[in-house]
Amino acid sequence: MSLLSKEKLRELTELAKAYAEERLAANAAKPYASREDERPGRTAFSQSQYRYSIQSSEVIELDSVMGDLSDKSAVQRAKEFVNRHRKKTFVEKLLEHAGEKNMSSKDLYKSAQIDRKLFSKMQNDPAYKPSRDTCLALAYALGLSFDEAADLLSRAGYSFSESSRRDILLQYFFMKGCCDLDTVNEVLYTLGERILGGSRF
């Protein structure tokens, strides 16, 4: 059951609907190539900027580390370099956020409305990749900002689409700090969009 009154829920639904319609209209008016480059609160990056995101100093360091890979010490240095620069996985970042917010595992999986066994499986496998909706439900349960949620999703290989009405609505909730999953689902359901998780209000 949503924490909001019926009046507030109706108001939120109308605002979210208007926001999604405005974003979709603006996106449709853009040249096709630029539609997926821009997200709220973010600077658009070119493909080359993403491709060469490693700093030049790191490239130089990598060159010196690699050396002759037939040399065992060079292989060890390469492994250390990878470990030092490896981005945290979805699960590792999820648990980091939970720790920062002093949120217990039980509170997290209950707030996200996901199965305890699934959450336990995730905890025991840092490389586990959950479904996109599970990632979103956990991001809401943690009360993340839009940028934090987008970063967390990227670690599981997902992103927000600027051409999806549902995704734009989901972005809106993050940006407005509306992280109650029942409220999110009520608005999605009212607007004819697929809900997250197993919530039935």
What is the model's pLDDT at position 29?
Answer: 81
Structure tokens, 201: 């209000």
3-state secondary structure of 108: helix
Report in angstroms the alpha-carbon separations of 19 from 40, 93, 161, 165, 166. Answer: 12, 30, 15, 10, 11
The rounded radius of gyration (Å) of the Cα atoms in the chain is 20
Residue 147 phi/psi, 5-degree rounding, is: -60, -40
Of 151, 132, 146, whose CA–CA distance to 87 is shortest?
151
pLDDT tens, residue order, the chain (201 aa): 666 788 888 888 999 999 999 998 988 887 755 545 555 544 343 333 333 444 555 555 555 555 555 666 766 766 676 666 668 899 999 999 999 999 999 999 999 999 999 999 999 998 999 999 999 999 999 999 999 999 999 999 999 999 999 999 999 999 999 889 999 999 999 999 999 975 443
Q: Which two tokens stand for residue 93?
A: 């970042």
- 12 to 39, 147, 165, 169: CA distances (angstroms): 21, 21, 16, 11
**Tokens (6 digits) for 10:** 């109706």
- Per DSSP, 200 falls in state -
